[in-house]
Amino acid sequence: MRYLPNTAQNQRAMLDTIGVAGIEDLLVRIPAKARLGRPLALPPALAEADLVRHLRGLAARNADADGHVCFLGAGAYDHYVPSPINHLILRGEFFTAYTPYQPEASQGTLRTIYEYQTMIAELTGMDVANASIYDGASSLAEAALMAHSINGRAEIALAGALNPLYRRVVETYVDGPGLKLREVPSPEGVLDLDAARRVVGAKTAALVVQSPNFYGCLEDVAAAAELAHAAGALLVVVSDPVNLGVLEAPGRQGADIVVGEGQGLGVPLGFGGPYLGVFAAKTEFVRRMPGRLVGATVDLDAARGFALTLQTREQHIRRAKATSNICTNVALCALMATIYLATLGKQGLVRAGELSTAKAHYAAERLAAVPGVSLRFTQPFFKEFTLRLPKSPERVAAKLARQHILAGLPLKTLDRKLGDCLLVAVTERRTKDEIDAFADALAKAVA
């Protein structure tokens, strides 16, 4: 798709057509005091070489995962991004500002989305996956709305160990329709099933459980499913698909809707986005599902082809009654995930998961052996865990950052009860040397 500039001639032609002398005349109705009244104070334009130097200087002030050893996680992970991804996504057929969905012109794009949906459905153990949503948090918020639309109930029960930033996005989304959020405490790092039984009842549209949860602990998803279903509620599972080469698929543990952040599947950290909202569900709920959906079909000559399907759910047809306000997807990030999964293959994905969890457990052992440092929870974990530190986690993290180690996320601002804790993630990219160096630096920092 081409970028079409708005030239001076274009502007003149448009102004002449509507009979206006200049662009200023279009703005006369804006009160003078609301206007700046002078040009923006921008520095003069730089030559390309100078501009690149300037931007590189600015970028060098960032602490990124290339120049640092990254143990930061909390929803975005430093997994390896195989080189074919960048090579392939930059092809002109894919690298467009707007995803072309017309089946007449876009069989390649539609096919990659179909493959993405198939892979996500297989990984999550669900029947159907959509073409993606913006990120993990918005996927979860859409799942809450979807549960409400399926069973008409007005409460959503959130496990206490859900990513607190996801909870905030859900709060925003459910404010309009007036759904009530109820939290199930997780004092030991995982869902308290007795407390959940008290919260989840006849008014509950869905119980939301994240596994591994925000603190890294693995939840008993099957028990949560049983509990939710006994109350006639749905179970929504927040899952990180890159872990599912090793961990059991939520769909085989009773999930009705599976959502999650797909960033780990070959999408670079990129300072927080764009990321990949994974969304999958059981077939019986497909008409309540938000987002785009690509289906396989046959054309007039009986050749296999792909087209958007079930579009009557969507906003451009159903207007205000659409299943969702989302009319698009993050096609380029979904393509990254598709190439990632195709590149690693079945064994590769299992291996990446095994390496992540093995290294995370080695790291947990080394770090918890530092005097004064301990694991905050005793629950099983996968690639992320919560450490309790004898000194301020903020100060420790700042100290280690100066040694080019991103130690993890101090939890104080997200959970005051865990003000002495640091959330540490370990992916397959970390080496034994890096983990040992981290343990040594931590020992000095807390000594």
Site membership for another protein, residue 312 (CB under 8 A): yes
Contact with another protein (CB under 8 A) among 79, 313, 366, 383: 313
Closest separation in Å from C-beta 226 to another protein: 23
Q: Which is nearer to another protein, 319 or 417 (CB)?
A: 319
The residue count for binding another protein (CB under 8 A) is 6
Q: Which is nearer to another protein, 221 or 307 (CB)?
A: 307
Q: Which is nearer to another protein, 181 or 322 (CB)?
A: 322
Place of tokens 């005349």: 25
Residue 44 gets which letter from DSSP? Answer: P
CA distance 107 to 103: 6
Q: What residue type is 366 in one-letter code?
A: R
CA-based nearest residue to 79, from 408, 380, 430: 430
CA distance 297 to 302: 9
Closest separation in Å from C-beta 173 to another protein: 22
CA distance 144 to 179: 9
Closest separation in Å from C-beta 227 to another protein: 23
CA-based nearest residue to 424, from 343, 368, 348, 341: 368
Site membership for another protein, residue 321 (CB under 8 A): yes
CA distance 56 to 60: 6
Closest separation in Å from C-beta 13 to another protein: 37
Helix axes 136-151, 164-175, angle to 10 degrees: 50
Q: Which stretch binds another protein (CB under 8 A): 182-190, 317-325, 364-372, 381-389?
A: 317-325
Give CA angle at 162 (362, 273), nearest 5°: 80
CA distance 273 to 271: 6
Q: Which is nearer to another protein, 218 or 322 (CB)?
A: 322
Q: Which stretch binds another protein (CB under 8 A): 126-134, 179-187, 315-323, 424-432?
A: 315-323
Q: Which stretch binds another protein (CB under 8 A): 7-15, 16-24, 314-322, 408-416?
A: 314-322
Give CA angle at 415 (238, 428), nearest 5°: 50
| Sign of the alpha-carbon dihedral angle for 254, 258, 263, 266 | positive
Q: Which is nearer to another protein, 31 or 152 (CB)?
A: 152
Site for another protein in 262-301 (CB under 8 A): 287
Residue 202: both structure tokens together: 């006849």
Closest separation in Å from C-beta 104 to another protein: 18
Q: Which is nearer to another protein, 303 or 320 (CB)?
A: 320
Closest separation in Å from C-beta 316 to another protein: 12
Q: What is the DSSP string of 172-198?
A: HHHHTTTPEEEEEP-TTSS--HHHHHH
Closest separation in Å from C-beta 287 to another protein: 7
Closest separation in Å from C-beta 318 to another protein: 5
Site membership for another protein, residue 318 (CB under 8 A): yes
Q: What residue type is 43 in one-letter code?
A: P
Closest separation in Å from C-beta 304 to another protein: 20
Q: How many residues does the chain have?
A: 447
CA-based nearest residue to 158, from 92, 103, 100, 205: 205
Which CA distances in Å does 143 have to 120, 146, 156, 340?
16, 5, 10, 25
Site membership for another protein, residue 402 (CB under 8 A): no
Q: Which is nearer to another protein, 61 or 316 (CB)?
A: 316
Closest separation in Å from C-beta 317 to another protein: 6
Q: Which is nearer to another protein, 212 or 290 (CB)?
A: 290
Site membership for another protein, residue 177 (CB under 8 A): no
Q: Which stretch binds another protein (CB under 8 A): 38-46, 260-268, 313-321, 411-419?
A: 313-321
CA-based nearest residue to 79, from 342, 351, 345, 335: 351
Q: Which is nearer to another protein, 140 or 289 (CB)?
A: 289
CA distance 81 to 201: 43
Contact with another protein (CB under 8 A) among 26, 55, 105, 317: 317
Q: Give the N- to C-terminal CA distance of the chain in Å, as an integer.
A: 58
Give the binding site for another protein (CB under 8 A). Answer: 287, 312-313, 317-318, 321
